[in-house]
Every structure is written in C-alpha cells, then in structure tokens.
Homo-oligomer: A and B are copies of this chain.
Amino acid sequence: MASKQQTIYFGRFIDTPTPTALRIRTGAILVNASDGTGKIEKADWTVTSANDATSKLGVEAPVVAAGDDGFFFPGFIDTHIHAPQYPNVGIFGKTTLLDWLTTYTFPVESSLGNPNSPMYTKTLPNGTSNPKQIDPLARAKTVYTRTLQRTLSHGTTTASYFATLSVAATNHLADLAHNIGQRALIGRVCMDEPATCPDYYRDSSATESLEASKACIAHCRKVDPTGLLVAPIITPRFAPSCTVESLRNLGQLASSEDVRVQTHLSENRNECALVKSLFPERESYTDVYDHAGLLTPKTILAHAIHLDDKEIETIAQRGAKISHCAASNSALGSGFCRVRTLLDRGVDVGLGTDVSGGHSPSILDAVRQTCFVSRHVGFLDGGDSRWNIGVEEGLWLATVGGSKVVGMEGSVGIFEEGAAWDALEIRLGADIGSEDEAEVGENGVSIFGWESWDDRVAKWVWNGDDRNVRRVWVGGRLVHERKS
C-alpha cells in the first residue's frame, strides 16, 4: 500500500553502532511519518537502485537518493549549547571561566529579554550605543533563529539548550525549535545567589527560580505534548550561581515532574575553589548536586574535568551523563576532560559545542577537537595510545553517545528500524578524475578517487564543514537544505 506519509531513502548509509568501526551499508530505508514521528519502518540492504527500492520495499513511495559522492549519516547531537551566546562565538580573549562570564556572557544573555542589559549601554564601533528601543524579545527572535539555523546547517538535529533567565525569551526558543523542527531540550537558566550573580541578571529569590522553571516546563509541554521534539530541561546554571534552597527546589521539581536536568560541573579550578568556599558542608562539587537530588539518569553534566575518583563513582552510580566540550575547555583554559576514564567507569559521554565557551556551532568540529584533546591527554601519560579517540569513536560520541546523554538511545543517532529519521545527507564533491581538473572545489574536502569510504569519512571529519551538509531531516521532516 502506498502512503503519502512514506518516503524511501536510497544510497549509502554510514553510522556507528560501536565506537570501533564505521558501519557502511548501501540499500534503502523506508520512513513512515504517518504518526508524526518519522521513524524508520524497514530497511533493505539488497536494494541496488532507486527503482529496485520501491519493488523490494513493496511501497510506491517517493525515493530520495543521496548523491554517489556522498552518504546519509545520523544527525549530530549537541549535548551542551547556550543558544543566547551564539552572537559571541569566537570572542573570549584571554579570560577564563569566571571573568569570561561577567565580561562577555552575562551581558549578551541578559540582552535577550532584559531592557537593562549592559549590551544596550555598550559603545558600538561607530561610536553609538545599541538603541534601547530594540525590543529585547525581538532580539531573542533574531539570535535564536540564527542559532537554530546555524546548528541545523552544521547537522545538529538534537540540541540541549541553555536559554536565559527570561521566561518569555526561553518560551520563544521552544516555539522556534518546534516551528523550525530541530529536536531540542529547552532550559530556562536559574541563578539566584546574590554573592555571585550580577544585580541585572539574577532571580530575586529561590522561589522565582522555581516558579519560572515551572512556567517554562508548562510552556514546553504545551508546545509539544509528546515531548519527543521539544521538551523542557531544568537548568540550574551551576552551583556557584544558585542558593542551596534553589538547588534543593529544582531537585525536587525534577523528581516530581520527572524532567531532565542540566548544569555545569567542575569546569575550571577557580570555579571548583569557589564551590568549595560556598558549600563548605559538602564533600565535593559533585556532592553539592547529589545532595540536592539533581543527579539522576536524566541529568546532563557539562565539562566534568577536575573530578576525583569518588565523584566519578557517584556520577556512575546515579547514572548521570556527561557532555564533553573539548573546544570550550581549551579556549577558556579549563583543563583536560579524561573521556576514556569516564567511559571505562561506565559513564555515558556525548559531545557539546558549548557555544560560546566553544567557538564553533559545529559538532563535526567538536569531533575534531575531541580527537586532538584525547591525544594531548595521552601526552600526559607518556604518549599512551589508550587515551586516543579516533574518527570512528569521535563520530560515535557525536551520535550514539549523545543519544544516551539526552535520554534518546535507540531513538536517534543510529540507522535502525524504529529509530527516528534524524539524518544528514553528506556530499563530498566529485572525484578529481581528470588530469586537467583545476578548479578549487566547492567545499573543504578534496576527493581524488582512490580513497576507500573509511578514508572519505576521515576526510570529511577533518576538513568538512556546513558546505558538506546538503540536507537535514528531523523525524522525517526536511528542516534544512543548502541552496548551493
């Protein structure tokens, strides 16, 4: 039986069911979007042509073919990204975490929804200030639209977003993600500790943090009652910015509402010292969250750099997840996350761009930085290669690893029956077959023709960018297509 809701995808499919090897298959996948979720209904790896596909799959559905010079790949999962910080990508100077927050981050975040933000008094290059009459919510729309489009253009089909303190702007992010069609966890940021948060960007009380979080949870559930595309996530910024009361409130809310949680953990040495001074009664940074009931199997902890053995053990026991943000950890001088240690101890790890501590909205770039940083960790261990994360494991972290971290294992990040069609069509460009071929290619990848597909994927990982992402689907819906 034909159905208007069915689509056949034909071509080369590459994914990473294990961290050790690419799975490279050619054939066809049938996606059924009739219930709105766009799942893979059937796959046939004997199909050899588009015509063959309809007969072998037994449906008269339209066929979408990947180019011979490319392949389908699962959409990337960004397990840690600050949507309002996108305007600041690449701007961090010589700061480290704590001065970076006050110099760059709080001003840009507060400008979305708060007319008293320092952004509106900053002198612009032309000598003027940003006009105060800019509607802060219009600014949120501009910034969030750009963030969603940029991340989609780089192949991020699922993202776990930190928004800002503004309920209205955060709800707007949920609306935009739902309309544009990116799978998104939407977190209203909570910060109520007067000793560490600026007056212009702080909840007036723990109660305000709680009530505002509830309002955003309710909005997300209204936007998407299924919670499959857009879902709320409780977001205490990090321990230093929250009172004990607020952390406890949010832990209780996570439990009573059965909602995901995200926060930062042990990113920077000065931050760790600050936590120690602010929470002297707790035995570790991890214990601050654990004591508040914030460590659950639905919790995403970003960074997790300076952990002792006991903290890792606690995280593993609670089933909490870790978002590894290599670029940000380098840029802000935070330190090395021992990804291999975490994996060996049974902790699930995914990758995060951490825009704008991280400079790039691209998870492909995060794969590269993860590979490099893993070798640097090995340098500290006499060059031991056991620390190394290669292309295959990096891509596995970016897809399957990420799916575990956001609580969607088996549903996204892999091409299996029953998983959603969250996918990218990657094109690498034509072979350089002719000896006279002398044009610089249209993207960063150069294919000469002799490369295996493992080689080609490596070339994509190391020199690819948004130009290689031709089309992007989320739940079977086409949500991005390059014009050229």
Mark A residues whose CB is within 8 Å of B: 86-87, 89-94, 96, 119, 122, 124-125, 130, 134-135, 138-139, 141-143, 145-146, 149-150, 153, 269, 327, 330-331, 333, 335-336, 359-360, 368-369, 371-373, 375-376, 378-380, 383, 385, 388, 390, 432, 435, 437-440, 444-446, 448-453, 455, 458-463, 465-466, 484
> Could you write out 16 A-B pairs with CB less than 8 Å apart?
A87-B448, A89-B446, A89-B459, A89-B463, A91-B459, A94-B385, A94-B388, A94-B390, A96-B383, A122-B450, A134-B435, A331-B371, A331-B375, A335-B379, A372-B372, A444-B465
Contact B440 A375 (CB under 8 A): no
* Complex CA–CA separation, A94 to B383 (angstroms): 12
Contact A463 B360 (CB under 8 A): yes
- Taking A125-B451, A130-B450, A376-B330 as contacts, is the C-beta distance between A89 and B462 under 8 angstroms? yes
* Complex CA–CA separation, A451 to B379 (angstroms): 38
- Taking A444-B465, A450-B130 as contacts, is the C-beta distance between A375 and B89 under 8 angstroms? no
Q: Which residues of B contact A466 (CB under 8 A)?
A: 440, 444
Q: Smallest CB–CB gap between A340 and chain B, Å? A: 14
* Complex CA–CA separation, A383 to B98 (angstroms): 14
- Taking A124-B449, A125-B451 as contacts, is the C-beta distance between A435 and B142 under 8 angstroms? yes
* Complex CA–CA separation, A139 to B435 (angstroms): 7
Q: Smallest CB–CB gap between A447 and chain B, Å? A: 9
Closest residue of B by beta carbon distance from A268: B383
Contact A453 B125 (CB under 8 A): yes
Contact A90 B459 (CB under 8 A): yes
Contact B452 A125 (CB under 8 A): yes
Partner of A91, one of B96, B380, B458: B458
- Taking A142-B435, A359-B463, A440-B149 as contacts, is the C-beta distance between A91 and B451 under 8 angstroms? yes
Contact B91 A378 (CB under 8 A): no
- Can you list the 10 inter-chain pairs with the closest CB atoms, starting with the nearest? A90-B462, A359-B462, A330-B372, A90-B459, A138-B435, A87-B448, A149-B440, A153-B440, A333-B375, A90-B458
Contact B330 A90 (CB under 8 A): no
Closest residue of B by beta carbon distance from A86: B446
Q: Which residues of B contact A438 (CB under 8 A)?
A: 145-146, 149
Q: Which residues of B contact A484 (CB under 8 A)?
A: 484
Contact B333 A388 (CB under 8 A): yes
- Taking A124-B449, A331-B375 as contacts, is the C-beta distance between A150 and B440 under 8 angstroms? yes
Q: Smallest CB–CB gap between A16 and chain B, Å? A: 16
Q: Taking each of A331, A388, A440, which has the highest tally of chain B beta carbons within 10 Å of its own beta carbon?
A: A440
Contact B146 A375 (CB under 8 A): no
Q: Smallest CB–CB gap between A82 and chain B, Å? A: 15
Q: Smallest CB–CB gap between A199 and chain B, Å? A: 22
Q: Which residues of B contact A91 (CB under 8 A)?
A: 451, 455, 458-459
* Complex CA–CA separation, A91 to B448 (angstroms): 13
* Complex CA–CA separation, A96 to B330 (angstroms): 23
Q: Which residues of B contact A87 (CB under 8 A)?
A: 446, 448, 450
